[in-house]
Structure 1
Amino acid sequence: MNMNSNFFPPLPEQVKIVEVGPRDGLQNESTPISAVDKIALIEKLDAAGIDYIESGSFVSPKWVPQMATSTEVFEKLNRKPGVTYAALTPNMRGFEGAMAVNATEVAIFGAASESFSQKNINCSIEESLERFAPIMDAAKSANIKVRGYVSCVLGCPYEGDIAPEQVATVAEKLYKMGCYEISLGDTIGIGTPDKVIKMIQAVSARVPMNKLAVHFHDTYGQALTNIYAALQMGIKVVDSAIAGLGGCPYAKGASGNVATEDVVYMLNGLGIKTGIDFQALLKAGWFISDKLGKPPISKVSSAYLANKS
């Protein structure tokens, strides 16, 4: 039973967790992590019951050195049946690299901010979307699903607030291009529930609610509150990163993604099913935190560690 009653808006019975730690999380960690340790992390995550894991990124190692081992990770990974091992592919070369190692599906990304798009990938929003056309064609021919990301949906480090309609425009274009799901990312973590609600209202008027996911960073400590607001709106897919890994190299002070442990703890408390073994999840977070030589950012994980000692 979840916490639905006359006093609360209805919440979903089940939520899908998209684990982005091995890619979006680790790519912004300065401590190098070997392919062997990345594989061990991914296998611990799928053993915990996570069935969607963003496992690598096929980008230039010059720009993202942490992802230089993605080919090795995908080649040597012991894959669990029923688990999606996804790769970020910003261009055709990346897509071909992902296909060469049998990534289950791929992801592309656009920004809701013109300034962020220029600073991040050196082109306009429209140009960035045009670059994805050949990927979409190739993926369709290969029967490969493509997930779309929209960054800076609640604010930009260069422009400040972003209009919900601008987010809706980019999300709709990605959806119409063929992305089966659009993940809405608060890249710098400045969102609050009211902004989340207005943004999702605007986007869901143009893209079906069941095709949307949310991706929050916890820079200002608002991620869980924002996720709760999104759940109340009808969102059923949440991106998160084990141990709160990551950040944004293009946004000063932007801390990591919301921790998977914290999200699952909240969902468990709401009676919402995830299919995830919480104790196994905690162990996966402790494993990668040890490899990085730092404590997990997850508050729930830190509390469990304190209670163990």
Structure 2
Amino acid sequence: MPKLAAFPKAFMQELCKEGTMKVSEWIELAVKLDISGLEWYAGFLEMEDESNWPKFRKEVESHGKTIPMLCCSPDFTHPEAAFREKEIEKQKRWIQMTHILGGSYCRVLSGQRRPELSIDEGVSLAASCIEACLPLAAEKGITLILENHYKDDFWEYPEFAQQMDVFCALVNKIDHPNFGVNYDPSNTFLAGEDPLELLYRVSDRVVTMHASDRYLISGTIEDLKNEEGGSVGYAKRLSHGEIGKGLNDYDAIFTELKRVGFDGWISIEDGVDGMEQLARSVSFLRKKIKKYWPDFQ
């Protein structure tokens, strides 16, 4: 049975760069939502102090919620082996962080799409780094989740595996019970591709999901494909919006996830226009999930 969580999409600069918002303030806002969990981000400034990890878990759980998944951004496609080894060590620390927070899912990425990198080389580098982290993940009972990502907020280049064919090649290269996909339909638009086509290709590997929505500021999807298809820089024709009012077809998405027996966490990346918007997105998703999973509470 799917469960709902929320991610502080609107407050990343405040929590991760400026320090003008405390994690406890985000917790107090999020626990008022009709959700079961809070997705965490490894880059919260206060997460640098490891003594805070169990404190935040206790704080969240005191409200009857959990921290099911950790969002982090390893860069596994760097040409230097020493750099990649440091990224593997970072990922292992994030696996430990997930475990201490009480979570079961820890995000991995491929890395940055550096201009000199070939597709085969990038897939090979990313796969070998992810595989180096899997023994610890298995030991801690954590599933590593590869997201079809666009670009980390603090990266120079977009995601190496942004394009569907590259993402699927990487997913297919890793066969391990502690590895799966975190599906984000909106990110597919940023690659100038169809989110349903991607879902149909990887649905049997999807274990978690980011729920978000995008809408066109101007023009058409064809304009987006012609102008933005995977280019450096955020797609200027697209903007984050309230879930259910954008381009994503959640009936088609949930029909496919239901078909393959999906029962993981759905974490909401929304609220860029305020907590009321996030609450409306929660309400929309609860109604949709109830339609496809009638026992959903």
Give TM-score scaled by structure 2 length.
0.57
2:197 maps to what in 1? 198
Following superposition of structure 1 onto structure 2, how do residues 268-283 of structure 1 map, counting pairs within 5 Å? Answer: 268-270=286-288, 271-272=290-291, 275=297
| Residue pair 2:183, 2:209 contacting (<8 A) in 1 also | yes
The size of the alignment, in residue pairs, is 228
CA distance in 1, matches of 2:5, 2:116: 24
Q: Equivalents in 1 of 2:270, 2:183: separation in Å? A: 19
Deviation at 1:199, TM superposition (A): 1.4
Q: Which runs of 5+ in 1 are unaligned?
A: 1-13, 58-63, 246-255, 276-309
In the alignment, what sits opposite 1:104? 102
- Paired residue type of 2:108: F
Decide whether aligned partners of structure 1 residues 195 and 70 sit closer, same or farther in structure 2, where only a CA change above 3 A counts.
farther
State the match for 1:92 in structure 2. 89
Partner of 1:74: 53
Partner of 1:39: 24
Secondary structure at the counterpart of residue 39 of structure 1: helix
Out of 232, 248, 254, the residue aligned to residue 226 of structure 1 is 248
Q: Which residue of 2 aligns with 1:16?
A: 3
- What is the identity, as a one-letter code, of the residue corresponding to 2:55? K
Contact 1:107 1:147 in 2 (8 A): yes
Matches within 5 A, 1:223-302: 224=244, 225-226=247-248, 228=250, 229-234=252-257, 237-241=265-269, 243-244=271-272, 260-270=278-288, 271-272=290-291, 275=297
Taking the aligned partners of 1:27 and 1:109, their CA distance within structure 2 comes to 18
Secondary structure of residue in 1 paired with 2:146:
strand
Verify the 8 A CA contact 2:182 2:208 in the aligned structure 1: yes
- Deviation string 1:175-195 (CA, Å, 9 cap, x unpaired) is x23445411234485378x81
Q: Cα 1:191–1:117, aligned 2, differ >3 Å: closer, same or farther?
A: same
* SS of the residue 2:27 aligns to: helix
Question: Structure 1 pair 260/110, CA: closer, same or farther in 2 (3 Å)?
Answer: same
Give the direction of change, closer, same or farther, for the CA distance of 1:111–1:142 in structure 2 (3 Å limit). Answer: closer
SS in 2 for 1:71: coil
Give the whole-Å Cα distance in 1 for the aligned partners of 2:96 and 2:240. Answer: 37
Conservation of the 8 A alpha-carbon contact between 1:32 and 1:66: yes
Q: Structure 2 stretches of 5 or more lacking a match?
A: 75-87, 152-156, 215-237
How big is the shift at 1:54?
2.1
Does the 8 Å CA contact 2:145/2:208 hold for their aligned counterparts?
Answer: no
Q: Output one character per residue of 1:151-202: Cα deviation in whole Å (capped at 9) or x when no partner.
A: 149xxx869996533332223345x23445411234485378x811211122
2:3 and 2:266 in contact (8 A); partners too: yes
Identity of aligned residues (%): 9
Distance verdict in 2 for CA 1:129–1:244, change over 3 Å: farther
- Opposite residue 56 of structure 1, the aligned amino acid is Y
- Give me the TM-score of the superposition, normalised by structure 1: 0.55
Q: Distance in 1 between matches of 2:39 and 2:177?
A: 19
CA RMSD between the two structures: 4.3
> What is the deviation of 1:75?
3.4
1:124 corresponds to which residue? 122
Partner of 1:169: 169
Distance 2:160 2:100 in 1: 39
Shift of 1:138: 1.0
C-alpha contact 1:149 1:183 (8 A) present in aligned 2: yes
Supply the distance in 1 between the matched residues of 2:161 and 2:198 (Cα, whole angstroms). Answer: 11
Amino acid in structure 2 at the alignment position of 1:263 = S
Equivalent runs, 1:41-60 vs 2, <5 Å: 41-46=26-31, 48-57=33-42
Distance between the aligned counterparts of 1:44 and 1:25, measured in 2? 12
CA apart distance, 1:114: 4.1
